Amino acid sequence: MATVWRWLSRLLLALLVPIALFAAIWAYGRLTSPTPAQQAAIAVMQQDDGGDTAGENGFPLMMALPPAPGPLPDAVNCGNSADAQCIAAIEAAPEASAAAIEPFRAHLEAAARALRAPVFRDRRTNADLRFDDLPPFQAVVQLDSLRALDFAAGNTVGALSAACDDAAAMARWAATPDTLLQGMVSIAAFRQHSALIADMRRRAPGDALPPSCVALTQSPDAAAEGLLCPALRGEFRYQQRTLPSLETEMVAHGDNAWAERLTPLMHDTEWMLGQTARAFSAACGESAKQAAREDRAVPLTGAEPRWVDYVAFPTSVLLADIAMPAYTDYTERQLDFVAQRRLLAAFLQMDAMDAALTPAQRFEALPETLRAGPRPLRFDASSGLLVVPLRGRLNGPGGGEATLPVPVPVPPPAA
């Protein structure tokens, strides 16, 4: 009997030692997280980019927009395509277009006020995703329909001025957004407005260029506007606010009691946020600014976890590996935005040049810093288009191109 007990004791000890070792590693991983590297990265991501600017906050304005009367009809929804011919579509059926768009005027003008506010920050510190409605950004994307309607109705200067005010505010949103979503929406809306502004100038070349459009002739600062850091800081704030409620919701609605009990042992929100911060922080700092100046995308590769993290946070490690590749294309989209800013600035500068110059001469007269650089603009004489290549996958295979027509010379007045 003593022999049997001795062997059972040895077997029990053989089982307990690995369990105790595993528990010790798990505890060590938990007690040493967040790591100094994660803490430093979190501090970088918690800095606010322009959030303390004085003035009206557009976020509550956007959340309190007058309700839209319904979906904007496709026939007049210029936001369906960056190359949509807004004005032509409205002119094809002016009365029907006005009847379709006018009921949205209060909704869209309120969105424009929120867009142009000097501050746009969600000040909430926590959120329950069941009630955390996102701002109705679709209204910003639809503003070009309203501007096109006013232009087609004869208010050419007022519509152009409003469109340039919108575009300048969209550029500010893209440079210092509150969330990554807001940044990407504003980049798309800016491209739409660029096409609309160019079309307005083509149709009414004799109108004086409003001051709001003159402001868009300046070359963008790539180190500021091409930096994805502000958008990722916003994304990090959003995750800090929403991940806890999201995970609580997932556990509460799970149908596996064991999974519910094991989740806190295998996953930790703070560790995941620290690991996310380590990846995101690569988009911040002087090296990232220099990369933006050189039109180089900064890879957002996730930092390799410690070996103990695979024991202490196995689910978190898996989730972080799944989530991070989704961000790889956003750095390219941000740099594409700078290219589109340069394209519109070049168009407006050429528009203001001497009408006696040919399109090719106007293009050559552009400042070297605007026309050339690491992603040079191109003038296609056969199509009469200004062209800049894009790299974001959202634009299709190879990134595609952004184009604007060369401004039409205004003939001198008859003697």
DSSP 178: S
- Cα separations (Å) of 110 from 125, 177, 256? 25, 19, 46
Any bridge partners for residue 264, and if so which?
Answer: none
Question: Could you tell me the pLDDT band of residue 275, with boundaries at 50, 70 and 90?
Answer: confident
227-264 burial code (b ≥16 CB/10 A, e <16): bbbbbbbbbbbbbbbbbbbebeeeeeeeeeeeeeeebe
Q: Do 112 and 166 touch, CB atoms closer than 8 A?
A: yes
Mean pLDDT of 119-128: 79
Which helix (H) or strand (E) segment is 356 a member of?
none
Alpha-carbon distance of 236 to 243, in angstroms, equals: 10
Which pLDDT value is given to residue 53? Answer: 66
DSSP 119: B
Mean pLDDT of 109-129: 86
Alpha-carbon distance of 338 to 111, in angstroms, equals: 24
Query: In this predicted model, which residue has the larger pLDDT, 35 or 311?
Result: 35
Q: What is the pLDDT of residues 1-15, one digit of tens each?
A: 566 555 555 556 555
Q: Which of 28, 374, 381 is closest to 226 using CA atoms?
A: 374
Q: Which of 238, 153, 142, 245 is closest to 200 using CA atoms?
A: 153
Alpha-carbon distance of 318 to 14, in angstroms, equals: 30
Which residue in this structure is represented by tokens 């160019």?
198
| Mean pLDDT taken over the chain | 84
Angle at 35 between CA 33 and CA 38, to 5 degrees: 110
Q: Which of 41, 131, 142 is closest to 101 using CA atoms?
A: 142
